[in-house]
């Protein structure tokens, strides 16, 4: 078995795995601050009373 193809495959594997992932230290995201928007109001309640049927 020739060593050149095995060595090339090993080098290719190591180089491709070295480029994976994020670089640098792990940093947790800061807590999000709520946007300055007015509070949402509840929608007006729909009328649950049905009008009586009209008489012809």
User: What's the pLDDT at 41?
Assistant: 72
CA-CA distance, 13 to 16, in Å (whole number)? 5
| pLDDT above 90 (res 45) | no
pLDDT > 90? residue 32:
no
User: For residue 56, is pLDDT > 70?
Assistant: no
Encoding tokens for residue 3? 């060593």
pLDDT at residue 26 greater than cutoff 70: yes
The stretch 18-32 carries a mean pLDDT of 73
- Match 């007015």 to its residue by tokens: 38
């Amino acid at each position: 078995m020739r060593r050149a193809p095995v060595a090339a495959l090993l080098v290719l594997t190591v180089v491709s795995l070295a480029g994976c992932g994020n670089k640098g230290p792990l940093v947790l995201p800061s807590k999000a601050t709520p946007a300055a928007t007015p509070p949402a109001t509840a929608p007006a309640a729909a009328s649950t009373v049905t009008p009586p049927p009209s008489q012809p």
